[in-house]
């Protein structure tokens, strides 16, 4: 958690909290797989097994695609030795999204209270959230792989492109 929060504040030393070990990487994957698995089982008990398991498989593909993309880019940028730690940090960074969603909701409420229409307030807070998450992930990639800013943008665009493809709502 310390590494996630330090990186969220833009502090490079947050990357030092993540190890370059297979076990650490697998531990970071476990909750990203377990929660969709529980969702698939629950949907199966509700008579929606096909949707549940297809969504689970799509989520797993998206989760596993991220480290593959990071590895491919790291190799092409000569940073192959850093991909595992970077992937581990990106996996744990996912969990910051939940509190950020709450903050975005509060921002939207404040904007609405000062007179901005609800839809506009939601749009503004959503764009701020997207911008922050993109900056946060870009920083993890740039710091973790020790690459140039533009190279980190390419990695992030690759991850985002694949993530959109594997969104469960597309099934």
pLDDT one-digit tens code per residue, 23-40: 899 999 999 999 989 999
Q: Is residue 85 part of a domain?
A: yes
Give me the mean pLDDT over the 98-125 stretch.
92
pLDDT category at 166 given cuts 50, 70, 90 is: low
Residue 99 lies in a domain: yes
| pTM for the whole structure | 0.82
Joined tokens for residue 2: 């310390």
Is residue 37 domain-resident?
Answer: yes
Is 4 a member of any domain?
no
Is the dihedral angle over the CA atoms 138, 140, 145, 149 positive or is it negative?
A: positive
pLDDT on residue 171: 42
Please determine, for residue 168, whether its predicted confidence score (pLDDT) is greater than 60: no
Residue 14 domain-assigned?
A: no
Q: Residue 10 falls within a domain, yes or no?
A: no
- Which residue range is the domain that position 139 belongs to? 21-170
Report residue 127's pLDDT band, with 50, 70 and 90 as the boundaries. very high
| Segment 65-91 mean pLDDT | 93
11-15, 57-61, 102-106 — which one is most confidently predicted on average?
A: 102-106
Q: E strand or H helix at 79, and its extent?
A: none
Task: Round the CA-based radius of gyration of the chain to a whole number and report it.
Answer: 17
Give domain status of residue 9, yes or no. Answer: no
Specify if 15 maps to a domain: no
pLDDT digit string (tens) for 132-153? 999 999 999 999 999 999 999 9
- Count of domains in the chain? 1
């Amino acid at each position: 958690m310390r590494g996630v929060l330090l990186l969220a504040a833009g502090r490079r030393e947050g990357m030092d909290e993540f190890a370059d070990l297979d076990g650490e990487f697998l531990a970071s994957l476990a909750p990203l797989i377990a929660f969709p698995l529980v969702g698939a089982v629950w949907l199966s008990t509700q008579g929606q097994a096909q949707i549940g398991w297809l969504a689970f498989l799509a989520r797993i593909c998206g989760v596993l695609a991220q480290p593959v993309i990071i590895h491919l880019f790291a190799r092409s940028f000569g940073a192959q030795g850093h991909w595992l730690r970077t992937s581990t940090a990106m996996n744990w960074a996912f969990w910051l999204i939940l509190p950020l969603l709450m903050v975005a909701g509060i921002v939207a409420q404040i904007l609405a209270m000062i007179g901005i229409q609800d839809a506009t307030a939601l749009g503004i807070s959503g764009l701020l959230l997207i911008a922050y998450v993109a900056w946060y992930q870009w920083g993890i990639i740039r710091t973790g792989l020790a690459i140039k800013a533009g190279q980190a943008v390419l990695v992030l665009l690759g991850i985002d492109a694949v993530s959109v493809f594997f969104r469960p709502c597309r099934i």
